[in-house]
Amino acid sequence: MRKYVFIFKSEVMSSLQYIWNILFGFLGYLVILFIFFQLWQYLYSDPSQVIHGYTMEEMVWYVIVTEVLWSSLGGRKLCMKISNDVKSGNIAYNLCKPYSYIGYALSSHLGSILLKFIIYVILGMSLGLLFLGSFPSISILSILVVLLSSILATIISTLLITFIGLFAFKIEDANPFYWLYSKFILVLGTIFPVEFFPQVIRPILQYSPIFAVTYGPAKLFVHFTLENAIEVLCIQGIYLVISYLLCLWLYKKGVKNLNVNGG
């Protein structure tokens, strides 16, 4: 475990060198939030209106939390890195190193996004306060649970994207699969809560990765109840195990067929 903590720490230190990149990246996030704020302001012509159980304030906070989780993740870069590691044969260097590639990918990616995550949380909350003028009424304990759930969501997302990146063992470029996955999360899990979709598909969405990576933590932030918290954490626990096992399975299957020509 200590070696993974070391990789994590090294990546955190390295990300400190790119603070400007993070702040410029935030400009993109700011625009997305601004667009959604305008959109919801337009749709909620009466600010006291409730649509599918959400007020305008709750909708804006929901989008802020899901966007913090998704935008700070840097999924495209991670998928590209894993896919390139496989394509270029770099992955072969890891075979002789005393760590698991999945553990390395996870700890290095989490280390590289920690600072970004913290900055996005602070700036996202400040923006919400600026747009709406107040925070949702939420206790300190609830904030801690939401934070724990957000960390779990980030770990699960990282593992699921690593799994997609490892598709490169089968098809040279795994990025198109990532586009589809990211749009699945973005359209069905970031912009609207599950309640906005037709009754027929809600159960499917509720137990899809969307629940673990975006909807769960955001729902807890806007509508916190103890039952919801237990349900979200339990489902995240299950997804954590499943996504790790999927990565491990695909990696083991992939390296068996690995051919590296020269170097």
Which residues of this chain interact with other proteins, rule CB under 8 A? 20-21, 24, 27-28, 31-32, 34-35, 38-39, 41-43, 51, 171-173, 175-177, 179-180, 183-184, 187-188, 191-192, 196-197
27 versus 96: smaller Cβ distance to other proteins: 27
Residues 6+ apart with CB under 8 A from 17: none
Task: Tell me which residue of 57, 218, 51 sits closest to 128, measured CA to CA.
Answer: 57
CB of 173 to other proteins, least distance (A): 4
CB of 36 to other proteins, least distance (A): 9
Assess contact for 116 and 72: CB atoms under 8 A.
yes
82 versus 188: smaller Cβ distance to other proteins: 188
CB of 80 to other proteins, least distance (A): 13
CB of 91 to other proteins, least distance (A): 18
According to DSSP, the residues that pair with 51 across neighbouring strands are 54
CB of 172 to other proteins, least distance (A): 5
CB of 197 to other proteins, least distance (A): 7
6 versus 179: smaller Cβ distance to other proteins: 179
7 versus 166: smaller Cβ distance to other proteins: 166
Residue with tokens 């990532």: 178
Residue with tokens 């390395």: 104
Residues 6+ apart with CB under 8 A from 83: 165, 167, 168, 173, 174, 175
According to DSSP, the residues that pair with 54 across neighbouring strands are 51
28 versus 237: smaller Cβ distance to other proteins: 28
Task: Tell me which residue of 249, 223, 75 sits closest to 155, measured CA to CA.
Answer: 75
Q: How many CB atoms lie within 10 A of CB 158?
A: 24
Residues 6+ apart with CB under 8 A from 137: none
201 versus 238: smaller Cβ distance to other proteins: 201
